[in-house]
Chains A and B, each alone.
Chain A
């Protein structure tokens, strides 16, 4: 049977690849070091496949047909969409191998068990997936199955629902009758705003409380967060739904905090964790 072998969580902002000069050098260096830790953990865990869970920034998913949750089901995907339009984006536009059989298993099992995944059979991903992968797996050694959570176009799936889907993922992976090692990578957050007057403000108090709960395995505290509480910390902080889903998959397991840096020049509370 399959085994959930590793969980990683990281902020996914593109500043780390194309606007590094805006951040305090010591903080940026810590962020880089954190990525190296996470990459080493991924290499050591050697998963046969990883889910990479992220918000998306209204590049592919639009309000004419906006799912709450979507799985990519294909042999490979490409990105970031931003690099196709901007040659100096900082990371190359490239293909990433995926694993359609695992994706299909999750979709079919989910449809049977009350997690009605939308399916994307073609998906040009954006920086939310490709910036972390540029640091964690630049050579595309590990097949990645992208998972989308709507964090950009309200109404959004609740943190409690994201946690429950995460719990279901953990059980579904354990129930997969393949002798495979599976990792989950959650990207996004922590507190930040994009496209509102709050942009630039970081809610350090919220971020530190969130990380403390995440690392202590206090899952109920994560699941109980309300939309209102999250939105008060930043218009884009809702991306932490991917972290909450990851916490659900590991069901109370403690995590190691690798990084928390409120990087003013990046306008984001930047964080990274490992669940091993």
Chain B
């Protein structure tokens, strides 16, 4: 997969603070069955060395919190779209997020 390590191949102690959570979303977004996998995203993300707060934010999803955790905005928007959310609702959803 261009530009990405295998899922779960990086120990929790390596990589930057933002690497694992971005890798998880990046890998999901490139998967040919991404939309189906979103329905069972807990299973997909289980292989990634995520901190508890990262996993919680991904599974929520907690859109504003994901940005705070360092998810790249392009990836966040792609993750939003994978959930079948209309693009025009994104800004309001993030703004309303606690």
Contacts and interface: CB of A to CB of B under 8 A. Distances in A.
B72 interface: yes
Given A61-B3, A63-B16, A195 B22 contact: no
Q: Counting chain A CB atoms within 10 Å of each CB, which of B16, B22, B90 scores highest?
A: B90
Contacts of A65: 3
A111 interface: no
Nearest to A265: B88
Given A195-B74, A199-B94, 13 more contacts: A62-B23, A62-B26, A63-B18, A64-B4, A65-B3, A153-B72, A193-B73, A195-B72, A195-B90, A196-B91, A197-B64, A199-B91, A236-B74
Contacts of A194: 73-74, 77
A197 B91 contact: yes
Interface residues of B, number: 26
14 contacts: A57-B74, A58-B74, A58-B75, A60-B3, A62-B26, A63-B22, A64-B3, A64-B4, A152-B73, A153-B72, A193-B73, A195-B73, A197-B95, A236-B73
For the complex of A and B, the 8 pairs showing the least CB-CB separation, nearest first, are A195-B73, A62-B3, A195-B77, A199-B91, A195-B76, A197-B94, A58-B74, A197-B95
A109 B88 CA distance: 45
B90 A62 contact: no
Interface of A: 22, 57-58, 60-65, 85, 124, 152-153, 193-200, 235-236
A180 B22 CA distance: 42
